[in-house]
Amino acid sequence: MTLGPVMLDIAGLTLSPVDRERLQHPLVGGVILFSRNYESPEQIEALVREIHGLRQSPLLVAVDHEGGRVQRFREGFTSLPPVRHLGQIHEENPKRARRLAEASGWLMAIELRAVGVDFSFAPVLDVDYGVSQVIGNRAFHSDPETVADIAHYYMVGMHHAGMAATGKHFPGHGHVTADSHVALPIDERPLADILAEDIIPFERMIHYGLEGIMPAHVVFTRVDPQPAGFSPIWLKKILRAQLGFQGVIFSDDLSMEGAKQAGDVVARAKAALNAGCDMILVCNDSTAADKVLAGVGHYDEPASHLRLVRMRGKQNRDRVQLAQDPAYHDAVRAVSALV
Protein backbone atom coordinates (compact mmCIF):
# COMPACT_ATOMS: atom_id res chain seq x y z
CA MET A 1 0.00 0.00 0.00
CA THR A 2 1.37 3.41 -0.97
CA LEU A 3 1.26 6.51 1.22
CA GLY A 4 -2.04 8.33 0.88
CA PRO A 5 -2.36 12.14 0.82
CA VAL A 6 -3.99 12.63 4.26
CA MET A 7 -2.21 13.20 7.59
CA LEU A 8 -4.35 12.77 10.71
CA ASP A 9 -3.93 13.05 14.47
CA ILE A 10 -4.91 10.65 17.24
CA ALA A 11 -6.65 11.24 20.54
CA GLY A 12 -4.42 9.88 23.28
CA LEU A 13 -1.28 8.13 24.48
CA THR A 14 -2.04 4.86 22.71
CA LEU A 15 -3.90 3.82 19.58
CA SER A 16 -7.57 3.07 20.06
CA PRO A 17 -9.39 0.55 17.85
CA VAL A 18 -10.94 3.51 16.02
CA ASP A 19 -7.48 5.02 15.45
CA ARG A 20 -6.18 1.74 14.03
CA GLU A 21 -9.09 1.41 11.63
CA ARG A 22 -8.85 5.03 10.50
CA LEU A 23 -5.07 4.92 9.97
CA GLN A 24 -5.38 1.87 7.75
CA HIS A 25 -7.58 3.75 5.29
CA PRO A 26 -5.78 3.90 1.90
CA LEU A 27 -6.03 7.70 1.79
CA VAL A 28 -4.01 8.06 5.01
CA GLY A 29 -0.27 8.56 4.68
CA GLY A 30 0.80 10.06 7.98
CA VAL A 31 0.14 10.93 11.61
CA ILE A 32 0.91 14.20 13.38
CA LEU A 33 1.50 14.00 17.13
CA PHE A 34 0.60 16.62 19.73
CA SER A 35 1.38 17.22 23.41
CA ARG A 36 -1.67 15.17 24.41
CA ASN A 37 0.00 12.15 22.80
CA TYR A 38 3.14 12.47 24.92
CA GLU A 39 3.87 11.16 28.41
CA SER A 40 7.50 10.00 28.32
CA PRO A 41 10.22 9.01 25.83
CA GLU A 42 9.44 5.34 26.43
CA GLN A 43 5.71 5.83 25.81
CA ILE A 44 6.15 7.90 22.63
CA GLU A 45 8.67 5.43 21.25
CA ALA A 46 6.17 2.59 21.75
CA LEU A 47 3.38 4.63 20.17
CA VAL A 48 5.46 5.53 17.12
CA ARG A 49 6.56 1.91 16.74
CA GLU A 50 2.92 0.81 16.75
CA ILE A 51 1.97 3.45 14.17
CA HIS A 52 4.83 2.43 11.91
CA GLY A 53 3.82 -1.22 12.26
CA LEU A 54 0.24 -0.73 11.12
CA ARG A 55 1.00 -0.81 7.43
CA GLN A 56 3.39 -2.60 5.09
CA SER A 57 4.45 0.82 3.80
CA PRO A 58 4.91 2.59 7.17
CA LEU A 59 2.97 5.77 7.77
CA LEU A 60 4.97 8.95 8.23
CA VAL A 61 5.03 10.26 11.81
CA ALA A 62 5.49 14.00 12.28
CA VAL A 63 5.35 16.59 15.04
CA ASP A 64 5.69 20.35 15.49
CA HIS A 65 8.89 20.56 17.53
CA GLU A 66 10.50 23.92 16.74
CA GLY A 67 11.45 24.93 20.27
CA GLY A 68 10.23 27.83 22.35
CA ARG A 69 6.43 28.02 22.36
CA VAL A 70 6.12 25.19 19.86
CA GLN A 71 7.65 22.05 21.33
CA ARG A 72 5.21 19.17 21.79
CA PHE A 73 7.43 16.82 23.81
CA ARG A 74 8.91 18.33 26.97
CA GLU A 75 9.79 16.06 29.91
CA GLY A 76 12.64 13.80 28.86
CA PHE A 77 13.57 15.99 25.88
CA THR A 78 15.96 18.93 25.80
CA SER A 79 14.16 22.26 26.25
CA LEU A 80 14.82 24.05 22.97
CA PRO A 81 14.98 27.86 22.88
CA PRO A 82 13.00 30.02 20.45
CA VAL A 83 15.06 30.21 17.26
CA ARG A 84 15.04 34.01 17.53
CA HIS A 85 17.89 33.58 20.00
CA LEU A 86 20.01 32.34 17.11
CA GLY A 87 19.10 35.43 15.12
CA GLN A 88 20.18 37.69 17.98
CA ILE A 89 23.53 35.92 18.18
CA HIS A 90 23.89 36.22 14.39
CA GLU A 91 23.82 40.03 14.69
CA GLU A 92 27.00 39.96 16.77
CA ASN A 93 28.72 36.77 15.63
CA PRO A 94 27.39 35.06 12.48
CA LYS A 95 29.88 32.18 12.67
CA ARG A 96 28.83 31.31 16.22
CA ALA A 97 25.16 31.55 15.24
CA ARG A 98 25.73 29.12 12.37
CA ARG A 99 27.48 26.62 14.66
CA LEU A 100 24.68 26.84 17.20
CA ALA A 101 22.02 26.61 14.49
CA GLU A 102 23.56 23.39 13.21
CA ALA A 103 23.78 22.03 16.77
CA SER A 104 20.16 23.04 17.44
CA GLY A 105 18.84 21.42 14.29
CA TRP A 106 20.82 18.26 14.98
CA LEU A 107 19.73 18.05 18.61
CA MET A 108 16.06 18.63 17.83
CA ALA A 109 16.17 16.00 15.10
CA ILE A 110 18.31 13.36 16.80
CA GLU A 111 16.11 13.26 19.91
CA LEU A 112 13.01 12.77 17.76
CA ARG A 113 14.71 10.18 15.56
CA ALA A 114 15.76 8.27 18.70
CA VAL A 115 12.08 7.62 19.45
CA GLY A 116 11.25 6.92 15.81
CA VAL A 117 9.58 10.17 14.74
CA ASP A 118 10.27 10.74 11.04
CA PHE A 119 10.30 14.53 10.94
CA SER A 120 9.40 17.81 12.59
CA PHE A 121 7.65 20.58 10.70
CA ALA A 122 10.67 22.86 10.89
CA PRO A 123 12.32 25.27 10.30
CA VAL A 124 10.11 28.36 10.27
CA LEU A 125 11.18 30.52 7.31
CA ASP A 126 8.85 33.45 7.96
CA VAL A 127 10.37 36.92 8.12
CA ASP A 128 9.46 38.73 11.33
CA TYR A 129 8.08 42.21 10.65
CA GLY A 130 7.16 42.74 14.29
CA VAL A 131 3.39 42.51 13.72
CA SER A 132 2.55 38.78 13.87
CA GLN A 133 2.20 37.45 17.39
CA VAL A 134 1.64 33.88 16.18
CA ILE A 135 5.05 34.02 14.47
CA GLY A 136 7.06 36.37 16.69
CA ASN A 137 10.16 34.67 18.09
CA ARG A 138 9.43 31.52 16.08
CA ALA A 139 11.13 33.41 13.23
CA PHE A 140 14.92 33.49 13.09
CA HIS A 141 15.15 37.17 12.18
CA SER A 142 13.62 40.21 10.46
CA ASP A 143 16.12 40.15 7.59
CA PRO A 144 15.33 37.58 4.86
CA GLU A 145 18.95 36.81 4.06
CA THR A 146 19.73 36.24 7.74
CA VAL A 147 16.71 33.92 8.05
CA ALA A 148 18.02 31.94 5.07
CA ASP A 149 21.57 31.80 6.43
CA ILE A 150 20.61 30.49 9.88
CA ALA A 151 17.95 28.14 8.53
CA HIS A 152 20.48 26.62 6.14
CA TYR A 153 22.74 25.55 9.00
CA TYR A 154 19.76 24.42 11.07
CA MET A 155 18.76 22.16 8.16
CA VAL A 156 22.32 20.85 7.84
CA GLY A 157 22.06 19.71 11.46
CA MET A 158 18.71 18.05 10.79
CA HIS A 159 20.16 16.21 7.81
CA HIS A 160 23.11 14.95 9.85
CA ALA A 161 20.58 13.44 12.26
CA GLY A 162 18.71 11.70 9.43
CA MET A 163 15.72 14.04 9.26
CA ALA A 164 14.22 15.87 6.29
CA ALA A 165 13.35 19.55 6.72
CA THR A 166 10.03 21.31 6.06
CA GLY A 167 10.02 25.10 5.70
CA LYS A 168 6.93 27.07 6.65
CA HIS A 169 4.74 29.13 6.06
CA PHE A 170 5.08 29.78 2.31
CA PRO A 171 5.19 32.47 0.96
CA GLY A 172 5.35 34.13 4.40
CA HIS A 173 3.10 34.66 7.45
CA GLY A 174 5.13 37.38 9.14
CA HIS A 175 3.56 40.49 7.56
CA VAL A 176 -0.01 39.92 8.85
CA THR A 177 -1.33 40.51 12.34
CA ALA A 178 -4.15 37.94 12.29
CA ASP A 179 -3.53 34.38 13.48
CA SER A 180 -4.72 31.90 10.83
CA HIS A 181 -5.71 29.45 13.60
CA VAL A 182 -8.62 31.76 14.50
CA ALA A 183 -9.00 34.17 11.55
CA LEU A 184 -8.22 34.59 7.85
CA PRO A 185 -5.16 36.86 7.52
CA ILE A 186 -5.05 39.24 4.56
CA ASP A 187 -1.79 40.51 3.01
CA GLU A 188 -2.33 43.28 0.45
CA ARG A 189 1.26 43.72 -0.71
CA PRO A 190 2.09 43.41 -4.40
CA LEU A 191 3.80 40.24 -5.61
CA ALA A 192 7.03 42.13 -6.31
CA ASP A 193 7.39 43.05 -2.63
CA ILE A 194 6.78 39.47 -1.49
CA LEU A 195 9.27 38.10 -4.00
CA ALA A 196 11.87 40.64 -2.90
CA GLU A 197 11.49 39.83 0.81
CA ASP A 198 9.49 36.88 2.15
CA ILE A 199 10.28 34.50 -0.71
CA ILE A 200 14.05 34.82 -0.28
CA PRO A 201 14.42 32.26 2.56
CA PHE A 202 12.31 29.73 0.66
CA GLU A 203 14.22 30.31 -2.57
CA ARG A 204 17.58 29.90 -0.83
CA MET A 205 16.48 26.81 1.10
CA ILE A 206 15.10 25.14 -2.03
CA HIS A 207 18.54 25.62 -3.56
CA TYR A 208 20.12 24.07 -0.43
CA GLY A 209 17.93 20.94 -0.69
CA LEU A 210 14.79 21.61 1.37
CA GLU A 211 12.55 18.51 1.24
CA GLY A 212 9.19 19.93 2.34
CA ILE A 213 7.24 23.18 2.39
CA MET A 214 4.02 24.11 4.19
CA PRO A 215 2.02 27.02 2.72
CA ALA A 216 0.26 29.61 4.86
CA HIS A 217 -3.48 30.04 5.32
CA VAL A 218 -3.01 33.68 4.26
CA VAL A 219 -4.71 35.47 1.36
CA PHE A 220 -2.38 37.60 -0.74
CA THR A 221 -5.03 39.68 -2.46
CA ARG A 222 -2.79 41.10 -5.19
CA VAL A 223 -1.91 37.54 -6.31
CA ASP A 224 -4.95 35.29 -5.71
CA PRO A 225 -8.22 35.58 -3.72
CA GLN A 226 -7.62 32.09 -2.29
CA PRO A 227 -5.28 31.41 0.66
CA ALA A 228 -1.84 30.30 -0.53
CA GLY A 229 -2.44 26.66 0.42
CA PHE A 230 -5.43 26.49 -1.96
CA SER A 231 -3.84 28.51 -4.76
CA PRO A 232 -2.47 26.89 -7.95
CA ILE A 233 -0.84 30.25 -8.65
CA TRP A 234 1.25 30.05 -5.49
CA LEU A 235 1.86 26.31 -5.45
CA LYS A 236 2.11 25.30 -9.11
CA LYS A 237 3.10 28.49 -10.90
CA ILE A 238 5.38 30.15 -8.33
CA LEU A 239 6.60 27.41 -5.99
CA ARG A 240 6.93 24.56 -8.50
CA ALA A 241 7.55 26.29 -11.84
CA GLN A 242 9.25 29.55 -10.86
CA LEU A 243 11.22 28.45 -7.80
CA GLY A 244 11.79 24.89 -9.01
CA PHE A 245 10.69 23.16 -5.80
CA GLN A 246 10.50 19.38 -6.24
CA GLY A 247 9.77 18.31 -2.66
CA VAL A 248 6.60 17.68 -0.66
CA ILE A 249 3.96 20.38 -0.25
CA PHE A 250 2.05 19.89 3.02
CA SER A 251 -1.14 21.83 3.64
CA ASP A 252 -1.46 23.52 6.99
CA ASP A 253 -4.26 22.14 9.16
CA LEU A 254 -7.53 22.25 7.20
CA SER A 255 -9.45 22.62 10.45
CA MET A 256 -7.97 26.07 11.08
CA GLU A 257 -10.16 29.14 10.66
CA GLY A 258 -7.94 30.49 7.89
CA ALA A 259 -8.80 27.44 5.76
CA LYS A 260 -12.57 27.75 5.96
CA GLN A 261 -12.88 30.19 3.07
CA ALA A 262 -12.41 27.19 0.77
CA GLY A 263 -15.72 25.60 1.85
CA ASP A 264 -16.59 22.56 3.96
CA VAL A 265 -13.78 20.24 4.98
CA VAL A 266 -14.16 17.94 1.97
CA ALA A 267 -14.14 20.93 -0.39
CA ARG A 268 -11.03 22.21 1.40
CA ALA A 269 -9.31 18.86 1.04
CA LYS A 270 -10.06 18.63 -2.67
CA ALA A 271 -9.10 22.28 -3.26
CA ALA A 272 -5.74 21.86 -1.50
CA LEU A 273 -4.93 18.69 -3.44
CA ASN A 274 -6.01 20.25 -6.74
CA ALA A 275 -3.92 23.34 -6.00
CA GLY A 276 -0.79 21.20 -5.68
CA CYS A 277 -0.52 19.89 -2.11
CA ASP A 278 0.92 16.39 -1.82
CA MET A 279 -0.38 15.82 1.71
CA ILE A 280 -3.22 17.53 3.58
CA LEU A 281 -3.48 17.79 7.38
CA VAL A 282 -6.79 17.37 9.22
CA CYS A 283 -6.26 17.84 12.95
CA ASN A 284 -8.28 18.02 16.18
CA ASP A 285 -11.57 17.09 14.53
CA SER A 286 -12.23 13.37 14.12
CA THR A 287 -15.59 14.00 12.45
CA ALA A 288 -13.90 16.16 9.83
CA ALA A 289 -11.23 13.48 9.35
CA ASP A 290 -13.87 10.84 8.65
CA LYS A 291 -15.66 13.16 6.22
CA VAL A 292 -12.43 13.72 4.29
CA LEU A 293 -11.67 10.00 4.10
CA ALA A 294 -15.19 9.32 2.89
CA GLY A 295 -15.48 12.27 0.55
CA VAL A 296 -12.17 12.75 -1.27
CA GLY A 297 -12.67 9.64 -3.38
CA HIS A 298 -10.04 7.74 -5.35
CA TYR A 299 -6.64 9.44 -5.33
CA ASP A 300 -3.57 8.19 -7.12
CA GLU A 301 -0.63 10.51 -7.64
CA PRO A 302 2.63 8.53 -8.04
CA ALA A 303 4.81 11.65 -7.98
CA SER A 304 3.39 12.63 -4.59
CA HIS A 305 4.06 9.16 -3.19
CA LEU A 306 7.69 9.30 -4.32
CA ARG A 307 8.11 12.70 -2.70
CA LEU A 308 6.49 11.55 0.54
CA VAL A 309 8.72 8.48 0.83
CA ARG A 310 11.73 10.81 0.97
CA MET A 311 10.36 12.28 4.23
CA ARG A 312 11.02 9.04 6.10
CA GLY A 313 13.61 9.29 8.83
CA LYS A 314 17.05 7.77 8.34
CA GLN A 315 20.04 6.71 10.47
CA ASN A 316 18.00 5.83 13.51
CA ARG A 317 19.92 5.67 16.80
CA ASP A 318 18.18 4.46 19.93
CA ARG A 319 18.11 6.44 23.15
CA VAL A 320 20.74 4.24 24.82
CA GLN A 321 23.21 4.90 22.00
CA LEU A 322 22.41 8.59 22.11
CA ALA A 323 23.00 8.81 25.86
CA GLN A 324 26.49 7.38 25.33
CA ASP A 325 27.43 9.85 22.58
CA PRO A 326 29.73 12.70 23.74
CA ALA A 327 28.61 14.83 20.77
CA TYR A 328 25.04 14.60 22.03
CA HIS A 329 25.98 15.87 25.48
CA ASP A 330 28.03 18.68 23.94
CA ALA A 331 25.01 19.73 21.86
CA VAL A 332 22.69 19.59 24.89
CA ARG A 333 25.02 21.87 26.84
CA ALA A 334 25.43 24.34 23.97
CA VAL A 335 21.73 24.58 23.13
CA SER A 336 20.54 24.56 26.76
CA ALA A 337 22.71 27.60 27.43
CA LEU A 338 20.57 29.55 24.93
CA VAL A 339 17.28 29.02 26.81
* CA distances, 261 to each of 33, 182, 266 (Å): 26, 12, 12
Model confidence pLDDT, tens digit, residues 237-279: 999 999 999 999 999 999 866 566 657 899 999 999 999 999 9
Identified catalytic residue from 181, 193, 290, 305: 181
pLDDT for the residue 255? 83
Per the CB < 8 A criterion, the answer to whether 238 and 269 are in contact is no
What digits encode the pLDDT tens for the residues 55-84?
A: 999 999 999 999 999 999 999 999 999 999
pTM recorded for the entire structure = 0.96
Confidence (pLDDT) at 317 = 86
What DSSP designation does 259 have? G
Other CB atoms within a 10 A radius of the CB of residue 53 amount to: 10
Residue 298 pLDDT class (50, 70, 90 cuts): confident
Dihedral pair phi/psi, residue 240, rounded to 5°: -75, -60
Count of C-beta atoms within a 10 Å radius of residue 195: 15
Q: Is the pLDDT of residue 182 over 90?
A: no
Distance CA 28, CA 71 (A): 24
Domain boundary assignment for the chain: 6-336
N-terminal to C-terminal alpha carbon distance within the chain: 43
What integer pLDDT is reported at residue 299 of this predicted model?
Answer: 87
Lowest mean pLDDT among 22-31, 71-80, 169-178, 249-258: 249-258
Q: What is the pLDDT of residue 177?
A: 85
pLDDT at 1 over 70: no
pLDDT at site 35: 97
Q: How remote is the C-alpha of 191 from its chain's centroid? A: 24
Give yes or no for a contact between 106 and 157, defined as CB atoms under 8 angstroms apart: yes
- Provide the 8-state DSSP code for 239: I
Kindly tell me if the per-residue pLDDT of 186 is higher than 70: yes
Q: List alpha helices for the chain, DSSP H.
A: 17-23, 41-52, 84-92, 94-113, 144-160, 191-196, 199-208, 232, 265-275, 286-295, 302-309, 319-323, 326-336
Q: What is the pLDDT of residue 140?
A: 98
The b-or-e profile of 208-228 (16+ CB within 10 A means b, else e) is eebbbbbbbbbbbeebbebbb
Task: List, in sequence order, every residue forming a beta bridge with 2; answer none if it has no partner.
Answer: none
**Between these two residues, 300 and 72, which has the higher pLDDT value?**
72
Look up 252 and say whether it is catalytic: yes
Q: Residue 106 and residue 155: Cα distance in Å, rounded?
A: 8
Q: Which of 9, 187, 198, 252 is catalytic?
A: 252
Read off φ and ψ for residue 311, nearest 5 degrees.
-85, -5
In angstroms, rounded to a whole number, what is the distance separating the alpha carbons of residues 308 and 279?
8
pLDDT at 20: 97
Q: To the nearest 10°, the Cα dihedral for 82, 47, 300, 166?
A: 10
Domain at 6-336: CATH code:
3.20.20.300
Average pLDDT of the chain is 95
- The confidence score (pLDDT) of residue 133 equals 86
Percent residues over pLDDT 90 in the chain: 89
Whole-number pLDDT of residue 178: 74
Task: Check if 181 is active-site.
Answer: yes
Residue type, 60: L
Main-chain dihedrals φ then ψ at residue 80, nearest 5 degrees: -90, 135
